Structure 1
Amino acid sequence: MASIINDRKASEIFQGQALLYRHLYAFIDSMCLKWIVELDIPNIINKHGQPITLQELVSILQVPPTKIDKVHSIIRYMAHNGFFEIVRIHDDNKEAYALTAASELLVKGTGICLAPTVECFLDPTLSSIYHQLKKWIYEEHLTLFEVSFGTQFWEFLNKNPSYNKSFNEAMASDSQLINLALRDCNLVFEGLEYIVDVGGGIGTTAKFISQAFPHLKCIVFDRPQVVENLSGNNNLTYVAGDMFKSIPEADAVLLKWIFHNWTDKDCRKILENCKEAISNNGKRGKVIIIDVVINEKQEEHKVTELKLLMDVNMACVNGRERTEEEWKKLFIEAGFKDYKISPLTGYLSLIEIYP
């Protein structure tokens, strides 16, 4: 075809249009995911015990006849995107929908369920802040959350118990996947007697560690509003405090998904407090970080895409995801001398740093 715009072929322009429209309507992906969780569809299919037909599903959901084709549209779209598998039932060759690895993660009552994460972050109040990206860019120090609500995210949680509860449940559900990955990380905890999980929430990961390593004493360290009324056991305790002021002494400090919430300046302060916490016991302690390490040159495109998307997402608190060089710079500036990065989950890495 002849050139049309800036010497581009019409085929290139059409591809550009398709990409533009894909992003224009990308918010529908999130809304369809929310729809799946709100209607409890993964649990319905799981309880059904076998792939479910459209007629069986709409019957259980009591969908009006006029909306059955719309249910089909959404289910078909989400199947195309990997949330359901379309199969044929042999008896009458009817089309039916089965769970995939993604939708199995939304089945409630199982060992690992990410439905609370979906419910939390797709709450209209929280997701609406991204309409303020333009205004946020011109505010020198304010976070996207402050631009939208006039307060920091953490202060908002402190003042709104229902959102605080929802956020803690979301973080606990995500920690279940981290626990799955940590099963193969015995060497990381070898030789340790005490470990403090900074920002450990309600203790999902600390409970796993304390059960997997009964000799290891675990401290869950978080905001007072998070750990109040939580009780531990012989090798698990809860301590309230502020990681910017001090961190309980231990052989190791664990921080999972903490640093991406904060600026470099804040991260250096946290690291300095970590260094002090592991240096007072007379042993060569370490800091264990579970977080994103961006590595565009060596990882798959889809993995990098997710990491870069998470980097944009952290605008809500002025945080960021980091490359290895950016991590290294933080470690050196905080007084650490050595570090080691290992893969952990599909997009999270495990970083061990030493004073």
Structure 2
Amino acid sequence: MFLFQTNPIFMAPWHYFSNCIKEGGIAFKKAHGCEIFEMASKDDELNKNFNNGMNSMTKCIMREVIKVYKDGFNSITSLVDVGGGIGGAMFEIVKAYPHIKGINFDLPHVVLRAQKFEGVDHVEGDMFEAIPPADAVFLKWVLHDWGDEDCVKILKNCRKAIPKKTGKLIIVDAVLKLEGEGLFDDVGFITDLMMIAHTNGGKERSEDKWNKLLKEAGFPRYNIIEISAWPSIIEAYP
């Protein structure tokens, strides 16, 4: 992850913060002429470094997610990981819960690099268009990459992918607390800046912001489960 964040491609947007404040726009696009996911689709080395960097963090976080949320996976027989990268999170889940049929869903150039895991199918597609159906949807570090309007589009597609009565959405993302109250406040501040540098409207969110997004997308009920790491688990229901 250190190599990923210190790559000159990812360092350059930080020098455009003041320019974005004065003129508006996206820091990454000002630095490189295109947005991050477009660039990754065309640059094989960047695509590899980005996905490997995310996968290295996934291994650490998923151990804690599975330990804390162990009962939450028991009733699920099929699970789709939206924006699952090269499949690291789904592999950890299926390894711990072999009864689950895992679907790792991401863009074609990402899935192309995914490793083969027993019990996991890699499916290419676009989460803004449609998501493969399953008992539940898993979203780890996806929604913080996007602005509110895009998040609602993604969440509405998640809603369509799961059963109306028994479906479930599992989000692993930061839930910011009032300033000074959270153990990981500093981490949240840093990652919020990273979203400004590297994404189009991405940001970390507090519970009231999550509540608004979920309700607008058709998830009126939710539960936040804290873990011993900077993200939390948000369990949401139609």
TM-score higher than 0.5: yes
For 1:5-154, what aligned pairs fall within 5 Å after superposition? 117-140=1-24, 142-154=25-37
CA distance in 2, matches of 1:242, 1:256: 16
For 1:264-303, what aligned pairs fall within 5 Å after superposition? 264-279=148-163, 283-296=165-178, 299-300=181-182, 303=184
1:251 paired with 2:132, answer no
CA distance in 2, matches of 1:188, 1:298: 30
Correspondence for 1:347: 230
- Seen in structure 2, the aligned counterparts of structure 1 residues 139 and 269 have a Cα distance that, compared at 3 Å, is farther
Higher Cα radius of gyration: 1
Report Cα offsets for 1:121-148 as digits up to 9, x if no partner.
Answer: 10122112111101112344x3210111
SS in structure 1 at match of 2:218 = coil
1:193 paired with 2:77, answer yes
Whichever residue aligns with residue 203 of structure 1, its letter is G
SS in structure 1 at match of 2:162 = helix
CA distance in 2, matches of 1:309, 1:231: 31
Relative to the length of structure 2, the TM-score reads 0.94
SS in structure 1 at match of 2:86 = coil
Larger relative contact order (Cα-Cα within 8 Å, sequence gap ≥ 6): 2
- Seen in structure 2, the aligned counterparts of structure 1 residues 324 and 125 have a Cα distance that, compared at 3 Å, is same
**Residue 234 of structure 1: how far off its partner (Å):** 4.9
CA distance in 2, matches of 1:232, 1:128: 34
Runs of 4+ with >4 A deviation: none
Correspondence for 1:160: 43
**Residue 298 of structure 1: how far off its partner (Å):** 6.8
Query: Retained in 2: the 8 A contact 1:231–1:237?
Result: no
CA distance in 2, matches of 1:210, 1:314: 30
Relative to the length of structure 1, the TM-score reads 0.64
Identity %: 38
Q: How many residues align?
A: 235
SS in structure 2 at match of 1:220 = strand
Root mean square deviation of aligned Cα: 1.6
**Residue 219 of structure 1: how far off its partner (Å):** 0.2
Report Cα offsets for 1:74-120 as digits up to 9, x if no partner.
Answer: xxxxxxxxxxxxxxxxxxxxxxxxxxxxxxxxxxxxxxxxxxx1001
* Residue of structure 2 aligned with 1:333, choices 216, 233, 238: 216
Report Cα offsets for 1:49-86 as digits up to 9, x if no partner.
Answer: xxxxxxxxxxxxxxxxxxxxxxxxxxxxxxxxxxxxxx
CA distance in 1, matches of 2:11, 2:17: 12
CA distance in 2, matches of 1:287, 1:186: 15
Gaps of 5+ in 2: none
Whichever residue aligns with residue 183 of structure 1, its letter is I
Correspondence for 1:242: 126
- Seen in structure 2, the aligned counterparts of structure 1 residues 187 and 139 have a Cα distance that, compared at 3 Å, is farther
* Residue of structure 1 aligned with 2:185, choices 298, 304, 322: 304
